[in-house]
Amino acid sequence: MPFGALEEIIVLDLSDRLAASFCAKTLGLYGCEVIKVESLEGDPLRQWTSPTQNGQVDDSPIFLHLNAGKKSISMDLHSKKGQSLLADLMKVSDVVIESQKPGHWEEKGLSYNQIKNINPSIIFTSVTPYGQTGPYKNFAYDELTLFAMTGAMNREGLPDREPLRYAGEIAQYFAGNAAAAATASTLFKRTLTGEGDWLDISIQECMAGHPHQIGRRAPYIYAGEPDPRSQPRTSASGAREPYAVGTFRCKDGYFSFLPLGPRMWPNIAKMINREDLMTHPKYDDTIKRSENKDELEAIFQAWLNDKTREEIFKAVQAAGVPGSPILQPEEVHKNEQFIARDFFQDVTHPNGQTLRMTGDPFRLSNTANSQIEPAPTLGQNTTQVLQNLLQMSYDEIETLTTEKII
Amino acid sequence: MKLGASKPLSTIRALELSEIWAGPFCGCLMGDMGAEIIKVESIQRIGRGPINPPSNAGGYPDDDPGNDPWNRQSNFNAINRNKKSLTLDLKTEQGLNAFKDLVSQSDIVFCNYARTVMENFGLSYDEVRKIKPDIIYMLMPGYGNTGPYADYRSMGMAIDAITGHSFLRGYPDMDHSSNSLVHHPDAVAATNGVMAIASALVHRTKTGEGQFIDMSQAESFMTHLGEIYLENQMQSFSRQRRGNRHPDFAPQGVYKCSGEDNWIAISIKSEADWSKFKATVANNHLNSDVFDTLSGRQQNHDQIDKIINEWTYSQDRYDVLNRLQSDEITSGVVLDCGADSYADPHLNERDFFQIVEHPSAGIYPMTGPIFKFESSNGHVIHNPAPCLGQDNMYVLKEVLGYGNDKITQFEANEIIGTVPLPGSDMGGSRRVAK
């Protein structure tokens, strides 16, 4: 078994929010040893939308996903002794990932500028909603309110209704992923120079700097183009082939299409067995097709009505029309492509349940694919971590336990 | 190798063969972190928006495509900051050999075209590694480089659909055909692409080995939806569309404020929040015992929304925001990507916008890099997107050491150039007339 690319890197995960936690998880998939430092009460996400309602705190789906493969050490971070223990851990770690309000660690003597005195090559990655500076730095947030501030929400939904968020915790995941990329890049520099750094990652800026947002901001600043929500058969970049753009009902669900421009018209006409329409005087150029889009949409919809998503997927690939079936979430892990690639991994959790969990976001040919391990129970690895990283004796650990520091 | 360089990837040269979003944004992020990104384009096939004729909705400066619309297209210029541009006709032996010479001077090759494009040029990973054994080489097709969908066409829309995200987005009270056409996932392959390349660079430093990176845009995005797939296995019901609501919090929503299309998002996340919020809104109807529990508020959510909307409707969104945040109530204003974000005090204080002078497009404040490093005092560099073929001489002369005769021949044979050839226009794939 080859090693992970980031083997032998120790990551202290101090996160208590999604984005930073996902940053640490992603690094863990590629070989970092991720030690999740929790308070004695545990990560608040342990109790988030717990579906089984059985009183257990470790069965929240989002906690299980974000923390798969991490080790957990729990300690009293309010006490001086706990803080001193954390400083000892920071001293022997390579990366610290945290999500607290700006200034939080400074009060405890554990900020980057304080820790770099005892560990000059530490990489300190702060993933916070609005970054370390600026008037919003202490704002309370969740996915909904943060997503609103990124520019993405303003275009999601219909012009005459309230704007919408995306379905998942998208902005936070995206920022966590970006933070992992920046952290790994800084790790690379460190292999050459030994230098650490402090990364100030703002979730708002990551999502506001997403290509779709910068791709809308540029035409505004170049030419004053507004940025409205649009009707579903159009898009912000104009109606393409409007009768065939967007989401359509079919026999067993929904199918998405995004034909890019007039050059797609012959492909579409052939696909729906209506090559006769290509020379029809009502449809033979893109302006006429836009004017007569309702008629064409009815023809297109009629072709879809008696076809399954699978049949349409084959047809679009044969015809060269960009399109994809909309899967329901429970269908995704049964999809032939993801099965063929062994993307999901079966992971048995401490409660005995085996769950299919998402695997590696990308694969490296010369290093190991990850073997997903279940998320840890609270403090599951406290003793092991203190012994291995700090060479603490059994008696020392026993004393900390008695004092309720760990 | 420049030791002690101040940016994470300053020692790295990467060759980008990409268009639209995923590949270009990957190069953009690496360029932000100091890598030398050479975008390999051609005058035979131009991926910089429609040019013949230029679209009247192309977002050109002052709506003027100018004589070189390919250098003035807003989308292209936004997403290709901090890069160089080289043109090469890879369908000719001379162009292909120049590319191979460049590979031997580079660390990374990445491509977001269909899986077989590089292979068809004779530039598969196996060919490229013969030239540079420790090359890091990434292909990022929609569904990955293996499996029954390896050669399927895809883009962000397809990834959004096949991962289940499209099924869960949109208004819960409407049909899915009302879903918007904006699709987030392309960019996830970009951030993961940087993560992959950086990890491979760490491995190369330790072992001297390069590697092939198999990026599936779908799998890349699916790691952002992990809890949704788990829910369906852990509970007897499956998640349906929620709009702006979340099962742990209520009330929660986006409410209309004064002015045109102005909104505020509010989340009440605890009983303490609810008490403070009630006091702020000061509407007796909210004092009903029915609303004292999360489930009570969830059952009567529409009724509460109506009261909140009455309260926000005549107020300025920023006034509501500041009032709620002073009570630590979770809230945010909906900013558009135009005037709103440029006026936002927080983004401005953090220098999110950078004044960029582009040689053809002019001087504009453009969206800046997203990472801030203490080692550079938070300062970020935003060089303008390159004009087509702008760096041909730099690459051929300085990097490859080609002589003037050879370069003259390249120009004569249209291997390189700075003006697209007739017929190179890929049409209105990005934008069409309003």
Q: Which helix (H) or strand (E) holds A253?
A: strand A253-257
What the block records as the tokens of A383 is 């003793």
- Beta pairing partners, B266: B253, B331
**Chain A CB contacts of B83 below 8 Å:** none
Closest CA to B367 of A135, A205, A199, A236: A205
Alpha carbon A133 to its chain centroid, in Å, reads 24
Distance CA B12, CA B196 (A): 14
* pLDDT at residue B166, rounded to an integer: 97
Question: Which residue from A minimizes the CA distance to B348?
Answer: A134
Q: Please check whether residue A208 is in contact with residue B369, taking contact to mean a CB–CB distance below 8 angstroms.
A: no
**Chain B CB contacts of A32 below 8 Å:** none
Does B162 lie at the interface with A, CB-CB under 8 angstroms? yes
- Bond prior to B251 in cis (omega within 30° of 0): yes
Contact between B195 and A180 using a beta-carbon 8 Å cutoff:
yes
* pLDDT at residue A49, rounded to an integer: 65
**Chain A CB contacts of B146 below 8 Å:** 340-341
Residue from A217, A294, A314 to probe the interface with B (highest B Cβ count within 10 Å): A217
Distance CA B276, CA A189 (A): 48
Alpha-carbon separation of residue A296 from A240, A274, A281, A317, A327 (angstroms): 13, 11, 13, 21, 26
Amino acid type, B339: A
Q: Which helix (H) or strand (E) holds B139?
A: strand B136-139
Residue located via tokens 């409205």: A228
Residue located via tokens 């490296």: A364
Is the model's pTM score more than 0.95? yes
For residue A259, the distance in angstroms to the closest alpha carbon of chain B comes to 9
Residue located via tokens 């067995």: A273
* pLDDT at residue B433, rounded to an integer: 30
For residue B407, the distance in angstroms to the closest alpha carbon of chain A comes to 35
* pLDDT at residue A156, rounded to an integer: 96
Q: Please check whether residue A88 is in contact with residue A5, taking contact to mean a CB–CB distance below 8 angstroms.
A: no
Question: Which residue from A minimizes the CA distance to B213?
Answer: A364
Per-residue burial over A89-102, b = 16 or more CB atoms within 10 Å of its CB, e = otherwise = bbeebbbbbbbbeb
Does B227 lie at the interface with A, CB-CB under 8 angstroms? yes
Residue B41's SS3 state is: strand
Residues in chain B predicted with pLDDT less than 50, given as ranges, are 1-4, 428-434
| Tens of pLDDT, residues B12-63 | 999 999 988 899 999 999 999 999 999 999 999 988 876 666 665 568 999 8
Residue B271's SS3 state is: helix
Domain A10-209+339-402 in CATH 3.40.50.10540: yes
Beta carbons within 10 angstroms of residue B81's beta carbon: 26
Domain boundaries, chain A: 10-209+339-402, 242-326
Distance CA B7, CA B363 (A): 26
* pLDDT at residue A238, rounded to an integer: 57
| Phi then psi dihedrals of residue A3, to 5 deg | -80, 160
**Chain B CB contacts of A234 below 8 Å:** 181
| Tens of pLDDT, residues A201-226 | 999 999 999 999 998 999 999 999 88
**Chain B CB contacts of A237 below 8 Å:** 57, 430-431
What the block records as the tokens of B89 is 């006709």
Residues in chain A predicted with pLDDT less than 70, given as ranges, are 1-2, 49-58, 235-239
Pair type for strands A197-202 and B371-373: antiparallel
For residue A24, the distance in angstroms to the closest alpha carbon of chain B comes to 12
**Chain A CB contacts of B47 below 8 Å:** none
As a whole number of Å, the end-to-end CA separation of chain B is: 50
Please name the fold of domain A242-326: formyl-coa transferase, domain 3 (3.30.1540)
Range list of β-strands (E), B190-345 = 211-215, 252-256, 263-267, 330-333
For residue A164, the distance in angstroms to the closest alpha carbon of chain B comes to 6
Just give the CATH number of B13-224+352-412: 3.40.50.10540
Does B49 lie at the interface with A, CB-CB under 8 angstroms? no
Q: Pseudo-torsion of CA B273, B276, B277, B282, nearest 10°?
A: 160
Closest partner residue to A332 (CB to CB) among B203, B229, B429 is: B229
Range list of β-strands (E), A266-338 = 323-326
- The count of residues in chain A is 406
Q: What is the DSSP letter of B173?
A: T
Does B216 lie at the interface with A, CB-CB under 8 angstroms? yes
Q: Is there a shared CATH topology between the B13-224+352-412 domain and the B252-342 domain?
A: no
Q: Which helix (H) or strand (E) holds A202?
A: strand A197-202
Residue located via tokens 């020392």: A396
Contacts (Cβ under 8 Å, ≥6 apart) of B403: none
**Helix A18-29 crosses helix A170-193 at what angle (to 10 degrees)?**
50
Alpha-carbon separation of residue B345 from A149, B262, B327, B339 (angstroms): 12, 17, 20, 12
Domain B252-342 in CATH 3.30.1540.10: yes
Domain boundaries, chain B: 13-224+352-412, 252-342
Q: Which helix (H) or strand (E) holds B356?
A: strand B353-358
Distance CA B50, CA B35 (A): 29
Beta carbons within 10 angstroms of residue A59's beta carbon: 22
Beta carbons within 10 angstroms of residue B64's beta carbon: 15
Distance CA A130, CA A137 (A): 5
**Chain A CB contacts of B369 below 8 Å:** 209
Contacts (Cβ under 8 Å, ≥6 apart) of B256: A162, B262, B263, B309, B312, B313
* pLDDT at residue A351, rounded to an integer: 79
**Chain A CB contacts of B226 below 8 Å:** 61-62, 65-66, 357-358
Contact between B195 and A184 using a beta-carbon 8 Å cutoff:
yes
For residue B111, the distance in angstroms to the closest alpha carbon of chain A comes to 14
Furthest-apart CA atoms within chain A: distance in Å: 89
* pLDDT at residue A239, rounded to an integer: 55
Distance CA A298, CA A91 (A): 67
- Beta pairing partners, A326: A254
Per-residue burial over A187-212, b = 16 or more CB atoms within 10 Å of its CB, e = otherwise = bbbbebbebbbbbbbbbbbbbbbbbb
Question: Which residue from B minimizes the CA distance to A343?
Answer: B219
